[in-house]
């Protein structure tokens, strides 16, 4: 059977528009009860990578995450929101992205830092690999992945396939850049992580995408669209069509194809909802490519940078007390 990808227009992040668009996405895919049952422990995994506001849309918009959490609570799920940041703290990054703590408290939804790594084996075309994935992701009954569509200096375009890489705890991500830094080895490892945590649903935030020098810099590009599927590869393949990215030059799709994970060809994908051809653009700005491999010096600099950011946050919090 072909992989189903639902596409729904969403003009902005106003709560009413998000509610209507997200509800329609789920209706097209058969409803929430196809993915989550009452009482289940559900982890929403956004991309809260760095302290960036929506003016530089490097993060999943927090208002979309809130709407998904609200709908999951309405069906009786126990909801957690978690991620492992590259820079900054989870609480600060999520707040800058538009996630309101008072709203989460009212809903009974917890924001969970990924700081409990567990060593697990993942499968790749080159054989098994050992990585450290946070226990919250491993112990959740279901995972809903909510990535941001972004241009990426090393990977051209990223979305659903890469988002589970954020279940790796803290600066271990930078270490795996160093350890498995060759493009094929690294992307094979990411697909292996995706297979391990296996989100039951991927909802791609393309209301406002990030173009230019992503993944943490760049500029906003309004696409006014949400995409959803059980198949992360299919979501990313449709995203290529949306922004006119050559799929053969997207390393994450090549890795999925090597691992025989998901639908990487449009012939194997069934589109639901919005007509893709009406939404396509041909002037999305892609970055100048840079090497994927991190040197040991790069890793050390990243650790120092993170320490400085967290120290600055700590001092800011002390001043407020």
Tokens representing 82 are 């978690």
Nearest to 202 by CA among 138, 158, 139, 247: 158
Could you give the angle at the alpha carbon of 84 between the alpha carbons of 128 and 58, nearest 5°? 110
Q: State the Cα–Cα distance between residues 239 and 202, nearest whole angstrom.
A: 13
Q: Is the model's pLDDT at 299 over the cut of 60?
A: no
Q: What is the tens place of the pLDDT at every residue in 25-71?
A: 999 999 999 999 999 999 999 999 999 999 999 999 999 999 999 99
Do 118 and 133 touch, CB atoms closer than 8 A?
Answer: yes
pLDDT at res. 312: 55
Average pLDDT over residues 216-240: 97
For residue 213, the 8-state DSSP code is S
- Cβ neighbours of residue 320 closer than 8 Å, sequence gap 6 or more: none
Q: Helices 172-179 and 183-197, interaxial angle, to 10°?
A: 140
pLDDT at res. 166: 94
Average pLDDT over residues 300-305: 48
Q: Can the peptide bond before residue 219 be classed as cis, meaning omega within 30 degrees of 0?
A: no
Tokens representing 201 are 């649903």
93: confidence class by pLDDT, cuts 50, 70, 90: very high
Q: Is the model's pLDDT at 172 over the cut of 60?
A: no
Mean pLDDT for all residues in the chain: 90
213: confidence class by pLDDT, cuts 50, 70, 90: very high
169: confidence class by pLDDT, cuts 50, 70, 90: confident
Q: State the Cα–Cα distance between residues 77 and 201, nearest whole angstrom.
A: 15
300: confidence class by pLDDT, cuts 50, 70, 90: very low
Q: Which residue has the higher pLDDT, 154 or 149?
A: 149
315: confidence class by pLDDT, cuts 50, 70, 90: low
Task: List C-alpha distances in Å: 143 to 35, 203, 242.
Answer: 9, 11, 25
Q: State the Cα–Cα distance between residues 217 and 57, nearest whole angstrom.
A: 8
Average pLDDT over residues 292-306: 48
Q: Which CATH fold topology does 3-293 show?
A: Rossmann fold (3.40.50)
């Amino acid at each position: 059977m072909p992989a189903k990808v639902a596409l729904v227009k969403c003009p902005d992040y106003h709560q009413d528009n998000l509610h209507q668009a997200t509800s329609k996405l789920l209706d097209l895919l058969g409803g929430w009860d196809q993915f989550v049952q009452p009482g289940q422990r559900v982890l929403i995994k956004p991309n809260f990578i760095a302290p960036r506001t929506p003016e530089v849309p490097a993060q999943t918009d927090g208002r979309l995450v809130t709407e998904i959490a609200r709908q999951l609570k309405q069906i009786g799920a126990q909801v957690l929101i978690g991620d492992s940041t590259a820079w900054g703290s989870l609480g600060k990054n999520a707040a800058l992205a538009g996630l309101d703590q008072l709203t989460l408290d009212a809903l009974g939804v917890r924001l969970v830092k990924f700081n409990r790594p567990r060593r697990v084996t993942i499968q790749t075309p080159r054989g098994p690999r050992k990585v450290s994935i946070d226990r919250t992701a491993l112990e959740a009954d279901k995972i809903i992945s909510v990535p941001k569509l972004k241009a990426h200096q090393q990977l051209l375009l990223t979305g659903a396939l890469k988002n589970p890489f954020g279940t790796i705890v803290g600066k271990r991500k930078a270490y795996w850049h160093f350890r498995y830094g060759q493009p094929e080895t690294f992307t094979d490892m990411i697909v292996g992580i995706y297979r391990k945590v296996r989100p039951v649903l991927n909802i791609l935030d393309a209301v406002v995408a990030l173009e230019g020098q992503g993944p943490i810099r760049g500029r906003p590009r309004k696409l006014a669209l949400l995409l959803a599927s059980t198949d992360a590869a299919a979501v990313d393949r449709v995203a290529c069509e949306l922004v006119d990215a050559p799929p053969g030059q997207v390393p994450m799709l090549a890795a999925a194809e090597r691992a025989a994970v998901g639908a990487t060809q449009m012939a194997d994908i069934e589109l639901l909802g919005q007509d893709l051809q009406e939404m396509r653009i041909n002037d999305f700005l892609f970055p100048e490519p840079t090497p994927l491999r991190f040197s040991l010096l790069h890793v050390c600099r990243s650790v120092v940078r993170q320490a400085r950011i967290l120290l600055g946050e700590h001092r800011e919090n002390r001043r407020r007390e």
